[in-house]
Amino acid sequence: MRFPPRAGWLLPQHWGFLPHLKRSPLTTFDSVAVVGALRLQCRLQYDQRTRFWSEFLSNTGRPAHKWTHYFPAYERHLERFVNQPVTLLEIGCGRGGSLQLWKRCLGPFARIVGVDIDQRCSSFEESQIEVRIGDQSDPGFLASLVDEFAPLDVVIDDGSHVMSHICASFDALYPHTTGVYVVEDLHTAYWPEFGGSLGGHTFIERAKALIDELHADYTHGALAPTSFSQSTLSIHVYDSLIVFEKGRHVHKHAPIIGAEPADRRAAYRRAARRLITAFKP
Ligand SMILES: C[S@@+](CC[C@H](N)C(=O)[O-])C[C@H]1O[C@@H](n2cnc3c(N)ncnc32)[C@H](O)[C@@H]1O
């Protein structure tokens, strides 16, 4: 239902889909209850679409620092973790506000782990929030995070934004991530002070190669399937933000389903057979 509802929805003749209203005349109580329920429903749907954005805008806790255009992506990729017993690990605590933001958005069962090189971030610990101090490019430190917190449902890399650091964290943590891996602020991939340059050894170039790797099954052996290709369902590239969605592939196949005239069905089947022979996993 759209929000706000069209005024027409408020007229009793549009409420016929409610069975008990068809049988009995509308009472004042009914009208108030139905209008209330409709408004609540609209409100809930409206809020759920902007949960992360609303929490960010109304933040009165520690300061959080995020680009506004990331929020639709957070809503899209993190909504399914709300009220679930998840572990979210964020590299880069800043001033502590984003850790509190994830805690408020994800609800009472979420375990939030903040990672930072700055010792002062230890003070951000509170109920549901733990902080570990170390360098996101240090394989030993990353292994200790895996030992202590894996499996990780969500990882958000908002740390140094240095290309080699992003890659080191990705190499160590991605295999132990089960849900979503987010890399923020990738405009730094074009900035030399972060190890960036157009077409250089950047995480953007790495992500381009990972798009090929995701399709390894279709490359006639040019690329061997990897743990990445077998555990990644999708790669979403936004302005300065890349989101990897993990999951298990089931049998890949493309059935034709539906009714159609026999001659067209035969033609489609011939074309489909050509496509399927081209796909030799
Ligand atoms: C952009 S701030 C994080 C902002 C925070 N996530 C927020 O949304 O409010 C980046 C943080 O990364 C930390 N950092 C920088 N280099 C790091 C490294 N090599 N390893 C871990 N953290 C690092 C900095 O100390 C800083 O707190």
Predicted pLDDT of residue 277: 73
Tell me what pLDDT residue 86 has: 98
Q: Tell which one of 98, 117, 120 to mutate to probe ligand 1, the residue whose CB is within 8 A of the most ligand atoms.
A: 117
Residue range(s) defining the domain that contains residue 23: 7-49
Q: Does residue 161 carry a catalytic annotation?
A: yes
Same domain, 103 and 15: no
Q: Which residues of the chain, if any, have pLDDT below 70?
A: 1-47, 278-281
Shortest-distance atom of ligand 1 to CA 159:
12
Note whether residue 161 is domain-resident: yes
Name all contacts of 35-41 with Cβ < 8 Å and 24+ positions apart.
35/10, 38/1, 38/5, 38/9, 41/1
Closest CA to 66 of 100, 89, 97, 103: 97
Pocket lining for ligand 1, CB < 6 angstroms: 64-66, 90-94, 97-98, 115-118, 135-137, 158-160, 165
CA–CA gap between residue 83 and residue 105 (Å, rounded) = 9
pLDDT of residue 1: 44
pLDDT of residue 280: 60
Q: Considering its fold, how many domains does the chain have in total?
A: 2
Q: Is residue 267 part of a domain?
A: no
Give the chain's radius of gyration (CA, Å).
Answer: 24
pTM (2 d.p.): 0.82
Residues 163 and 25 in one domain: no
